[in-house]
Structure 1
Amino acid sequence: MSEARILGVLGGMGPLAGATFMQRLTLLTPASRDQDHIPSILWSDPRVPDRTAARIAGGEDPLPWLMRGLRGLEAAGCGAIAIPCNTAHGWFEPMQEATRLPILHIVHAAADELLRLGLTGGTVGLMATKGTLAMRLYQPRLEARGFDCLVPTEEEMDRIVMPSIDLVKANRISESYAPLAEIARRLIARGAKAVVLGCTEIPLGIAAGPALPFPVADTIDALARASIAWAKPAA
């Protein structure tokens, strides 16, 4: 039996983001046959309580559900964990403390993606959930890598970004493109050199229409690339 590293994917937040991550992991992996791909196990549990509601509105704590998924992936023999949900990384520290497995941090992956796109510093736009922005998951980590974050206004978040994320979760993906693309354009107009899609529903909406004419860091792809680097360090 092959001793290839097995990747655990803690998904379901939302389900389409986790499924798309698995597809992108496959498409981005350098492979010429089945056996060249990365053994992976997707734990997709959409019952995990809403992460933004938990953080800013006193909603149910998602950590017990996240831990349940981690335990299942540990028991399945996984060697590392990828979580294709940005807001869930607000519970990164307690999750990492509770498992012996490395958890690949999506924000670090996004910073690496910006470098891959040719940016070494400056101002970048950040589109994310209200929970991710409130927890400042990105700002200090990107600042440590030389990037300043420009975020949508509170009015834009309430009227455009969060409703667009909800459209993706409701499988109304094509409807989310125009409003999400408009916010991305506004961030560029305000001085951003690129836009980080810091919610894994947002790349799904942006992919539903014409490509944007400026650099975009897709955190689904970024996490997939980080996962490939873990699984195939010599690739």
Structure 2
Amino acid sequence: MLGVLGGMGPLASADFMRQLTLLTRAERDQDHVPAVLWSDPRVPDRTAARLGQAEDPLPMLMRGIRGLEQAGCRAVAIPCNTAHGWFDAMQAATTLPILHIVDAAREELERLEVGEGPIGLMGTAGTLAMGLYQGRIGRECLVPEAALMDSHVSLGIALVKANRVREAYAPLAEAARILRGRGARAVVLGCTEIPLGIAAGEALEFPVVDTVAALARAAIRHVGYASA
């Protein structure tokens, strides 16, 4: 049984469950991964917490993990990049293995056969400030400058969270193209809202890593199923 600690945001969690289903090699209901989704959007804002502008989300994150433990789950996936800033504290407080979304993104870069060289990285201001990817993914990361974050990336993420997904495509796609123009071999969509915005328009003409799909693939493999 896979536990999914979600609600950050709700649409990204729903997309994770969709990807978990679509990416599992299955012919019937019984071939799919048993899973429990704990979707609680009341978790305090992770980026604001890291910037000292909101309360610590760890107690609410642990409340969800305890619920997944009680439901009989044997592993946890968290379809929220910024929440992984509390990964060590969460993992230390549970015996359940928690899959790390950055590790899943690294595996996806390998699956896509992205060659040597820098990658672009888009994410929340909190994710970038914490260096979640920069120290773990094993590649040079090109990140948006502050002005591009404000005008494009953070705007696009906010639009998805407000269910204005189609409007999010233009700023997010433009930010990804700018990173590509700076020499990125691929662009990692390191916020689980960003793939939703990117999917709302024309496909980009270079490799991107959808961290929702990457985490779903990693979860499928971890619990012993075959991914498509």
The answer to whether TM tops 0.5 is yes
For 1:80 and 1:91, the matched residues in 2 are separated by 17
Give the distance between the partners of 1:92 and 1:58, measured in 2 at CA. Answer: 20
CA contact (8 A) 2:155 2:171 kept: no
> What secondary structure, in the 3-state scheme, does the structure 1 residue paired with 2:8 have?
coil
CA distance in 1 between counterparts of 2:116 and 2:224 reads 28
Deviation at 1:59, TM superposition (A): 1.1
After superposition, what is the alpha-carbon deviation per residue over 1:45-70, rounded to whole angstroms, capped at 9, x for unaligned?
00000000000133111000000000
Query: Aligned-pair distance for 1:234?
Result: 6.7
Alignment match of 1:195 (pick from 187, 192, 216): 187
Give the match's secondary structure for 1:109: helix
Deviation at 1:225, TM superposition (A): 0.2
Change in Cα spacing, 1:212 to 1:56, as seen in structure 2 (3 Å) is same
Decide which of 108, 111, 118 is 2:113's aligned counterpart: 118
- Contact persistence 2:33–2:225 (CA under 8 A): no
Q: How do 1:97-108 and structure 2 match up within 5 A? A: 97-108=92-103
Q: Which residue of 2 aligns with 1:44?
A: 39
Runs of 4+ that moved beyond 4 A: none
Secondary structure (helix, strand or coil) at the match of 2:158 reads helix
Q: Which residue of 2 aligns with 1:179?
A: 171
Equivalents in 2 of 1:233, 1:116: separation in Å? 17
Contact 2:25 2:226 in 1 (8 A): no
Question: How many residue pairs align between the two structures?
Answer: 227
Deviation of 1:189 (Å): 0.4
Read off the aligned partner of 2:118 and give its amino acid letter: T
The within-5 A match list for 1:85-164 is: 85-143=80-138, 147-164=139-156
| Residue number in structure 1 paired with 2:50 | 55
Any residues of structure 2 matched to 1:21-40 within 5 Å, and which? 21-40=16-35
Report the Cα distance in structure 2 between the residues aligned to 1:234 and 1:113, rounded to whole angstroms.
Answer: 15
209, 223, 226: which one aligns with 2:201:
209
Give the TM-score normalised by the residue count of structure 2.
0.98
Gapped regions of structure 2 (runs ≥ 5): none
- Report SS of the residue matched to 1:125: strand
Distance in 2 (alpha carbons) for counterparts of 1:233 and 1:30: 8
* Structure 2 match to 1:170: 162
SS in 2 for 1:16: helix
1:76 counterpart (58, 71, 76): 71
SS at match of 2:118: strand
Q: CA deviation at 1:121?
A: 2.9
Identity %: 69
**Structure 1: tracts of 5 or more residues without a match:** 1-5
**TM-score of the two chains, using structure 1 as the length reference:** 0.95
| Local SS of the residue matching 1:111 | helix
- C-alpha distance in structure 2 between counterparts of 1:234 and 1:185, whole Å: 33
CA offset at residue 23 of structure 1? 0.4
Please provide the CA RMSD for this pair: 1.0
Deviation, 1:32, is: 0.5
